[in-house]
Amino acid sequence: MREILYRDAIIEALDEEMRRDESVFLLGEDIAEFGGSYKTTVGLFEKYGKERVRNTPISEQGIVGATLGAALMGMRPVAELMYIDFTGVAMDQIVNQVAKVRYMFGGKAKTALVLRTQGGAGRSSAAQHAQSLEAWFVHVPGLKVVMPSTAHDAKGLLKSAVRDDDPVMFIEHKLLYLEKGPVPEEDYTIPLGVAEVKREGRDITIVATSSMVGKSLAAADELEAEGISCEVVDPRTLFPLDRETILNSVKKTGRCLITHEAVQRCGWGAEIAATLAREAFDYLDAPIERVCGMETPVPFAPKLESHVIPDKDDVIAGVRAVISGL
Amino acid sequence: MAALTKKTALRIYETMIRIRRFEVRAIELFQAGELPGFLHACIGQEAVAAGVCAHLGDADQITSTHRGHGHMVAKGLKYEGMFAELYARSTGYCKGKGGSMHIADQDLGVLGANGIVGGGIPIAAGAALGIQLQGRKDVVVSFFGDGASNEGAFHEGINIAALWRLPVVFVCENNGFAESTPRSNHQTVRDIADRAKAYGIPGVAVDGMDPAAVFEVAGEAITRARKGQGPSLIEARTMRFLGHYVGDPGTAYGHDREVVKWKKRDPIPAFGKFLEKRKWIGPKKEDELRDRIERELDKAIDFARKSPEPGPQDAMTDIYASI
Ligand SMILES: Cc1ncc(C[n+]2csc(CCOP(=O)(O)OP(=O)(O)O)c2C)c(N)n1
């Protein structure tokens, strides 16, 4: 199969959905001629023109509000918020408006929209450009939250997100944009709410999101040499959550490590741990472990940054701790 | 209005050169791979920071932006601490935790560069409120770009400042671009200064390539603020000579063409000529000045390179005052 970049997979998904459905259009800062800060809309302005690939002012609240308003009229807007950190500027529109109108209005409002954004550390972008804030959105009923870890998943999930009738927070990772992966030429979608077992194993389940999936797979390779067999599960959609796949895996392995880049405290992993503690209690042979970002804003200094963000070795250490019962 | 004295003019000239040379050296180091993260250079816009900050003392405050090095230098921050911060060293202004986009020094009235466009504007209003409540005579200046004037924070911050007649001056550095977006593509208002009308405060547009003009306009606004007559909005028309960030060629959105005519109005040689005409500076003094600045830069860069990096023990410090 051909291999393409994660960011090109995003472009292809947007392109195909715009071609398929005239109500799909894009808006965001610097997404037109410039092709987006992370080059995830390159070529689309030339193809679809300025009506459907709309540059916006630096007005995040306005962008999200306009996205919702257009959706209420039956359009299917896909907005880009340049960094997940900037959702802070638009939080009222996201949390009090986008997430609520369907429910408040008795299920009648149309809210088919996607808010694409990207998060994560690794480029010395410091405290306001490197956060992992997905848990904020998972916490808000009314929003769906997607976090693809590969080019293949990014494309298939984004296409589903665009077709979905609910608002979707689609959270990409800045370090994954330049990673290549196999992506079929033919049309495909990946349903929201379906996890994938990225690697099968016997001894422990690693539940990993976004950038931590690749690091966990690398950790699993190394641990295999020591005779520890890891199963790596990527939920892909944080909500709706495929509890079945995670539960089945943990029931099989009897151990679980959850890893995400976001800080541990009240992170999405806490939800998984609580779910497992209740639903898989009888199957667990060891306490559930979490390998997450340290509970600090992201520092600028590269060495500090890599210290506070979990890496492959942290996953390996975590797995060893669970297995050895330390 | 007080005329520009020789002393002030020379100081403004020096400040502009100090900013320019800081940026040039930082860019060289960045391109050599010595500095992590990314850089937004303010080359071309020096006259605004230099002309405005010439009115400010240490107790006056500023808020700045992602493109903040010039404001910092003009407000008196030291090259050592700035370079050490760009090098992510413990001796930097923020101990290597902030970087280019977050330099701050509370002792010298720098409330911070900012990674969030528009983020500093309401903070400036709040600092002015603090000053007003404390009965101080100090003022706050908030620097931001044309792009930032489309954020809610701009409108909310200025409205609050106007309502409470706060001692703050809002300085919009209109360089015609917000990242890749030309102004014609992000706002319809002809003069950003006109937005002042919406808040019932004075708004004035000034040639941001002319430090003397900036100095004069800023002087009026700052005097008003110090006298308790409330905030003003200044729109300084200027141009960044480089791309949005170091590495952006500016070719994708017409900046490269636009910048050609602005470079002819480079504020540093133009103001140098103005000073020469008045015999306020000659080649010898100019050389001395530039040598001195270069030696300071060498020393600061050396200091930064030799400074220790923060280590794991620093990771969990400075998050709370106490827990
Ligand atoms: C809230 C927010 N939105 C978007 C960005 C990304 N961004 C950084 S600088 C910039 C352009 C700012 O333009 P302007 O305010 O005119 O300042 P200039 O870069 O021209 O100095 C953008 C869009 C950001 N940092 N913060």
Find out whether A142 and A103 touch, Cβ atoms under 8 Å. Answer: yes
The pLDDT, as a whole number, for residue B3 is 78
Q: Which two tokens stand for residue A5?
A: 């970049």
Closest CA to B74 of B19, B144, B5, B21: B19
- pTM of model > 0.80: yes
CATH code where residue B291 lies:
3.40.50.970
Burial class (CB in 10 A: 0-12, 13-18, 19+), B235: buried
Task: Look at residue B1 in the predicted model and tell me its pLDDT.
Answer: 52
Residues in contact with B227: Cβ distance below 8 Å, sequence separation at least 6, in sequence order: none
* Angstrom distance (rounded) from CA A88 to CA B187: 22
Percentage helix, strand, coil for chain A under 3-state DSSP, each rounded to 5: 40, 20, 40
Residue B314 in any domain: the answer is: no
> Please, what's the b/e burial string for B147-164 (b: 16 or more CB within 10 A of its CB; e: otherwise)?
bbbbbbbbbebbbbbbee
CB of A50 within 8 Å of any CB in chain B?
no
The total number of structural domains in chain B stands at: 1
Closest-CA residue of A relative to B245 is A37
CA distance B107 to B92: 14
- Enumerate residues 6+ apart whose C-beta is below 8 A from A111: A68, A71, A72, A98, A101, A102, A165, A166, A167
Neighbours of A313 (CB within 10 A): 12
Could you give the CA distance from residue A83 to residue A37 in angstroms, rounded to a whole number? 9
CA distance A135 to chain B (A): 20
In this predicted structure, what is the pLDDT of residue B57?
98
Chain B residues contacting A via beta carbons under 8 Å:
36-38, 88-89, 94, 96-99, 101-102, 114-118, 147-148, 150-153, 178-181, 185-187, 252-253, 309-312, 314-316, 319
Q: What do you get for the CA distance between the two ends of chain A, in Å?
A: 43
Average pLDDT of the residues in B223-251: 97
Q: What are phi and psi of B175, to 5 degrees?
A: -100, 15
Q: Which helix (H) or strand (E) holds A64?
A: helix A60-72
**B291 within a domain of the structure (yes/no):** yes
Q: Distance between CA atoms of A272 and B44, rounded to whole angstroms? A: 52
The whole-angstrom separation of Cα A261 and Cα A210 is 8
Does B2 have pLDDT greater than 90? no
Could you give the C-alpha distances from A243 to A28, B130, B184, B265, in angstroms and in order?
34, 51, 50, 64
Evaluate whether A3-182 and A196-324 have a shared fold: yes
Q: Of A3, A2, A5, which Cα lies nearest the Cα of A172? A: A5
Q: What percent of chain B has pLDDT over 70?
A: 99
User: Which DSSP helix (H) or strand (E) runs through B163?
Assistant: helix B152-163
Task: Domain ranges for chain A, please list them.
Answer: 3-182, 196-324
Helical ranges in A98-187 per DSSP H: 101-104, 134-138, 151-163
Quick one: pLDDT at residue B170? 99
Mean pLDDT of B15-44: 98
Minimum-distance CB partner of B37 among A29, A124, A296: A124
Find out whether the peptide bond into A240 is cis, omega within 30 degrees of 0: yes
Considering the four listed CATH numbers 3.40.50.12140, 3.40.50.920, 3.40.50.2000, 1.10.150.120, the one that applies to the domain covering A196-324 is 3.40.50.920
Amino acid A147: pLDDT: 98
- Residue positions of A annotated with a catalytic role: 60, 129
pLDDT of residue A62: 98
| Domain, as residue range, for B110 | 6-307
Question: What SS3 state is found at A32?
Answer: coil
Q: Is residue B261 part of a domain?
A: yes
Pick the CATH number of A3-182 from 3.40.50.970, 3.30.10.20, 3.40.50.410, 3.30.540.10: 3.40.50.970
Pairing type for strands B61-63 and B140-145 reads parallel
Nearest atom in ligand 1 to the alpha carbon of residue A88 is 1
**In a domain? residue B154:** yes
**CA of residue A85 relative to chain centroid, distance:** 14
Cβ <8 Å between A304 and B148: no
Mean pLDDT of chain B: 97
| Cβ(B115) – ligand 1 distance below 6 Å | yes
pLDDT in the model for residue A112: 98
Residue B21's SS3 state is: helix
Q: What is the pLDDT of residues A171-217, one digit of tens each?
A: 999 999 999 999 999 999 999 999 999 999 999 999 999 999 999 99
- Give the pLDDT score at A325: 83
Whether B80 is in the pocket of ligand 1, judged by its Cβ within 6 Å, is no
Find the mean pLDDT for residues B136-146: 98
Q: Which of A58, A83, A174 to mutate to test the pocket of ligand 1 (most atoms within 8 A of CB)?
A: A58
* pLDDT tens sequence across B60-104: 999 999 999 999 999 999 999 999 999 999 999 999 999 999 999
Beta bridge partners, B234, equal B171, B204
Q: Is A128 on the interface with B (CB under 8 A)?
A: yes
Q: Which atom of ligand 1 is nearest to the CA of B144?
A: 15
What are the tokens at A83? 């960094």
pLDDT tens for chain A, residues 1 to 326: 999 999 999 999 999 999 999 999 999 999 999 999 999 999 999 999 999 999 999 999 999 999 999 999 999 999 999 999 999 999 999 999 999 999 999 999 999 999 999 999 999 999 999 999 999 999 999 999 999 999 999 999 999 999 999 999 999 999 999 999 999 999 999 999 999 999 999 999 999 999 999 999 999 999 999 999 999 999 999 999 999 999 999 999 999 999 999 999 999 999 999 999 999 999 999 999 999 999 999 999 999 999 999 999 999 999 999 999 86
